[in-house]
Amino acid sequence: MPTVTRSSAGLGATGPFAGAATGTVHDQVAVNVAALTELTRVMLPDLLAAGDGAIASIVGYQPAPGMAVYAASKAYVLSFTEALAHELRHTPLRVLALSPGSTRTEFYATSATSEKGVRFQTPREVVETGLRALDASRTPSRVVSGTRNRLNLAVLRRLPRRAALTIMANASRPT
Ligand SMILES: NC(=O)c1ccc[n+]([C@@H]2O[C@H](COP(=O)([O-])OP(=O)(O)OC[C@H]3O[C@@H](n4cnc5c(N)ncnc54)[C@H](OP(=O)(O)O)[C@@H]3O)[C@@H](O)[C@H]2O)c1
């Protein structure tokens, strides 16, 4: 059974950045960015020595007004993970940037994001997407979980930037 290393700890806070508490901003960068990077660095030699295994990180694609630090931290994770996937492409390790949409976990309670109109996936659906991608004969460097999430992302990326930012601002409104 290959080792799957999840660098999935993460937290998000809602509200305008101008009013954000120092601790909240610090914690998001410390956990979502610094800890993930350092844990990956520490684990990598053992994973490479084991000759099999996978690293899956939870990433984001869109800037999100109202969750500016959170979304920026996830953009870092996407960039970091895909670069790592390329660096390790000739090793037996598989490296995947997994992007969930809204998922029914504790996250929504702690980030205090509004649930109005949100279509949730279950954690099992997200994990199955990740494992399928890791099991593929050629592991992609990134995957978005859920058909609806993939469609939403495709539409968002084709919209003018200002319109996409407005949609994301509405989606990350606090409860
Ligand atoms: N749920 C969603 O809708 C959703 C959507 C997109 C991306 N994500 C991402 O998915 C990942 C997993 O989140 P989840 O949905 O499973 O949420 P979750 O149930 O709230 O789990 C978050 C995890 O992060 C850890 N964590 C939170 N704050 C921490 C801190 N200050 N220091 C150390 N560890 C901390 C928690 O540890 P404890 O259990 O010890 O508190 C927990 O293991 C996160 O990276 C999140 O950003 C979630």
Choose which residue among 29, 62, 102, 105 to substitute to test ligand 1 binding: the one with the highest number of ligand atoms within 8 A of its C-beta: 105
pLDDT of 12 higher than 50: yes
Separation of CA 160 and ligand 1 centre (Å): 31
User: Domain locations in the chain?
Assistant: 4-171
**Protein residue with least CA distance to atom 36, ligand 1:** 9
User: Residue 10: CB within 6 Å of ligand 1?
Assistant: yes
* 4-171 classified as CATH 3.40.50.720: yes
Predicted local distance difference test score (pLDDT) of residue 117: 78
* pLDDT > 90: percent of the chain: 75
pLDDT of 91 higher than 60: yes
- Long-range contacts, 84-91 (Cβ 8 Å, 24+): 84/40, 84/55, 85/139, 85/141, 86/141, 91/48
Predicted local distance difference test score (pLDDT) of residue 1: 45
> Mean pLDDT over residues 159-164, rounded?
97
User: Residue 19: CB within 6 Å of ligand 1?
Assistant: no
Please tell me the least confidently modeled range out of 25-39, 71-85, 102-116.
Answer: 102-116
Predicted local distance difference test score (pLDDT) of residue 5: 53
| DSSP secondary structure string for all residues of 147-171 | HHHHHHHHHHHHS-HHHHHHHHHHH
pLDDT of 2 higher than 60: no
> Mean pLDDT over residues 165-175, rounded?
86
